[in-house]
Chains A and B, each alone.
Chain A
Amino acid sequence: MRKLIFTLLLLVGVGFSGANAQCNHEALLKDALAQMGDGQYIKDFIVDLKNDKGGESGTVKYSVILNSRSQYKFNVVNGGANSEKVHMQLYDGDKLLVSNKAQGKMYSAFGFVCRSTKVYSLVFSFPEGNEGCARAVLSLQKQFAAGEGGF
């Protein structure tokens, strides 16, 4: 069994060796999936921000449809060369709902209990316009039945 695991690890390594050396997104995805926990994978997001001419890396935004009475987890893995950890924020229109930054610290995940089905925005950026890369995963953790969890 161990041999099989090592063989697979080797295959993964070979598969990944052709990827961008600076930011190995396949390896980041592997880590992000491993940190996803017991939830069910829904979608993953690539973050690859470079400094533009003004010296700011800007943001990258993804639209996600989240369903009411569902608990989701957003977890993110940073690229090894990042000078700062990625900032991940969930918005409803212009309204910030949740961020992975709390009390000056960047966390690798947050949970969100959705109570209204609609399109939300997931926004990634790096502090002070630094560049960097990351990979995030959205997973479904739980669906609430009527009367459960205040629904």
Chain B
Amino acid sequence: MIRNLIFALLILTGGSFLYSCAGNSEKKSAQQDDELALPDSITGEAPLKLSEEIIGDVIQNISSPVEMANLIKSTGVDFSQQILNNPENISDYSTSFKRALNLGVFSADLGYINSYDKSNIVVSYLLAVKNLADGIRVGQFFDFESLKRMATNSSNLDSLMQMSVSSFNQMDSYLRQQNRSNVSALVIAGAWVEGLYIAANVIENTNDEELINRLGEQKEIVDILYIILQNYEQNSSFKMLIDHLSELKALYKQVKITKEVGEPKTIEQDGMLIIVQDEVSHVEISPETLGTIIDKIKEIRTDIVK
């Protein structure tokens, strides 16, 4: 209890200071030194098809590292560091485009590591996140020392994950305030692909029904991500990613999602009302389609991390 309280306070203390710093100094700095924000010019000239506000609103939780990681752990499969990106690769990511994408990748890896309580390797992944975030000028949202302390001193990595997720959310809000939703979209895309990549590897080993369903349900999400990324299609780097997603989207057409409407249920649990949704969706995905989608996800992920 006391430990949890301390962690919560640490999160809030760090968060409030970081937020203050971001709000006061970064705007000015970004305006003065914009070429440092996007040295390889990942902004497009063409007008956006969706406003920054709408994009930001939709993408903010497209990929929750917490949810996918929990689902993977629930399959009972052993942890495998081999399927994760290697923190040593970050020196290869010399463009903002690559850094943003792989920042997302490492955020998903962190979620996976956290769900298995692998505190022995978490610091190297946090450092990768911090370095990549610095590389796209959002490092102020990741208080590495506090994160490291939590990772090395705590047996409760939930608090660490909470702080990490909160840092990512703050970074996302900040990027949108700065009209840098393009960077935010890349981070989200990287996290989404990595989450699916890890899930795909686990599916190949377990054929787990829950994970297959979750992979199939991404038919809804790939459409949204595709529309968002299309806003930046003028940029050649984005085009590669958009083309990949277009192909993945085409493969997802073979996934059938049916919906039936039943009766809504209300239950009370610990004094709180809980509504059970009346609409139920069912996913139908053939082994062949699953195989082609997994192959495509692996191909996209290879392009992202190379």
Contact = CB atoms under 8 A, between A and B. Distances in A.
Chain B: number of interface residues, binned into ranges: 35 or more
B17 A15 contact: yes
Nearest to A18: B20
Interface in B192-229: 209-210, 213-214, 217, 220-221, 224
Interface of A: 1, 4-5, 8-9, 11-12, 15-16, 18-19, 26, 29-30, 33-34, 40-44, 61-65, 67-71, 73, 92, 97-98, 102, 107, 109-119, 138, 140, 143, 145-146, 150
Contacts of A70: 67
Contacts of A118: 220
16 contacts: A4-B6, A18-B20, A41-B165, A64-B61, A65-B61, A98-B273, A98-B275, A102-B273, A111-B269, A111-B275, A115-B276, A115-B277, A115-B281, A116-B279, A117-B217, A119-B220
Nearest to B273: A110
Contacts of A15: 12-13, 16-17, 20
Given A112-B274, A116-B277, A40 B70 contact: yes
Contacts of A143: 67, 70-71, 74
B175 to A, nearest CB: 15
**Best-buried of B66, B71, B276 by chain A (most CB within 10 Å):** B276
A63 B210 contact: no
Given A12-B16, A15-B20, A63-B58, A117 B275 contact: no
B6 A109 contact: no
Contacts of A110: 272-275
A97 B277 contact: yes
